[in-house]
Amino acid sequence: MRIGILTGGGDVPGLNAAIRAVARRAFDFGWEVYGIHDGWKGLRDGDVSPLDRTAVSGILHRGGTILGSSRTNLTKKPEDMEKAIANTKKFGLDAVVAIGGDDTLSVCAALSKRGIPAIGIPKTMDNDVPGTDYCLGFNTAVTTVADALDKLHTTAEAHHRVIVVEVMGRQAGWVAMMGGLAGGADYILIPERPACIADVCAHVKRRREMGKAFSIIVVAEGAKIKEICDDKAAEQHKDEFGHIRLDLRGLASTLSTAIEDQTGIETRFVVLGHLQRGGAPTVFDRVLATRMGVYAADLLKQGKTGLMVASRGDKITAIPLEEIAGKTKDVDADLCALAEMFY
């Protein structure tokens, strides 16, 4: 049997660990393994090459992805899908293992419907893929956020400032919520709950009246604050899946200016940006990637395809790709309530 492995979408720590796990398990079965470079773009363009044990050796702890990545959407153009299917056959791939987030997995589901045996492994620091408790890269990202908040607390307290910290999170606020909870944020804004600038300012003032001279505000990059958000510039730059460039919203800068203007309290902002998806994976992400990668290969060994590997409780299982394609997992209401207890 010959399988292809690819990584799509934004990179996260843990991708290399997953590639290694799939390949090592496949080698144990006596299979051939091919790397598909730069995500679905590589399958479309025929950028496919063999992987051996040496290629996947020593990469468990490395961030990024040895295969490269892209945000290529094969479903956008019928001819791209046809090229990908033709190259699957050209290179003799009996199955494809796609490691990616909701966009990558939606393409994986579409290929599966076209008769290409495929398995998906959920990867996204946003942790917004439904059907799985955790996605690869999420634990590392929130650990980075919590560490940053620990550092920002000391400088905010020393100068009696408000600091607005922008973190990643397009449609779901898992990084903001979990990172904010772990880092002791004083207010958390997420896409699932439209916010009002007046409420944020009132909270900052209330803390001052309580004798708390500083505040840490965590905001997901996709948060909706209607009084201050202008997405016109961001709308001019969309990827192949129709997503706008969230960094062009300037959310943290705009929010910090609004807070200072309306409260009179000195306010600064920090955009963590790609720091959240860089560096070595945590122990949790290394183990999760290893378990998911091995399970993906085991599913192929059993002749099971059209599935996404999922983490549920302490078990690794699988669900149909069609059940998660095009869907988003929102932050749980109980987590929002928990965060509000500490406002």
The residues that bridge with 238 in the sheet, in sequence order, are 244
State the pTM of this model: 0.94
Say if residue 195 is in the same domain as residue 223.
yes
Residue whose entry in the numeric block shows the structure tokens 């019928």: 78
Q: Does 329 map to a domain?
A: no
In the numeric block, the tokens 């409780």 are attached to 313
pLDDT of residue 249: 78
Count of domains observed in the chain: 2
Q: With pLDDT > 70 as the criterion, what percentage of the chain qualifies?
A: 96
User: Residue 342 domain-assigned?
Assistant: no
Boundary (domain end) residue, out of 215, 250, 276: 276
Q: Residue 91 has which token pair?
A: 């290179």
pLDDT digits (tens, 9 = 90+) for 124-170: 999 999 999 999 999 999 999 999 999 999 999 999 999 999 999 99
**pLDDT score at 326:** 86
Q: What is the pLDDT of residues 93-126, one digit of tens each?
A: 999 999 999 999 999 999 999 999 999 999 999 9
Examine the domain organization and report whether 106 and 30 are in the same domain. yes
Q: Does residue 133 share a domain with residue 6?
A: yes
Asked if residue 263 belongs to a domain, the reply is yes
* 230-266 tens-digit pLDDT: 666 556 666 677 666 777 778 999 999 999 999 999 9
One domain, residues 286 and 214: no
- Does any domain span residue 328? no
pLDDT computed for residue 232 by the predictor: 65
Q: Domain of 94?
A: 2-137+281-323
- The CATH number that applies at residue 213 is 3.40.50.460
Instruction: With respect to residue 124, please indicate whether it lies within any of the assigned structural domains.
Output: yes
| Position 337 in a domain | no
Number of neighbouring beta carbons within 10 Å of residue 326: 11
So what's the pLDDT on residue 238?
Answer: 67
Indicate whether 341 belongs to any domain.
no
Q: Which of 216, 245, 276 is the last residue of a domain?
A: 276
Q: Which residues are catalytic?
A: 126
Looking at residue 292, which CATH number applies to its domain? 3.40.50.450
| Span 44-72, pLDDT tens digits | 999 999 999 999 999 999 999 999 999 99
Q: Are residues 181 and 291 in the same domain?
A: no
- Nearest 10 degrees: Cα torsion 87, 97, 108, 312: 180
DSSP 123: B
Using an 8 Å Cβ cutoff, are 26 and 33 in contact? yes
Instruction: Determine how many CB atoms are found less than 10 A away from the CB of residue 68.
Output: 18
Summary mean pLDDT of the chain: 94
Residues 132 and 146 in one domain: no
Q: Is residue 121 part of a domain?
A: yes
Q: Across 129-266, where does the E strand assignment appear?
A: 162-167, 187-189, 215-220
- pLDDT tier at 5 (50, 70, 90 boundaries)? very high
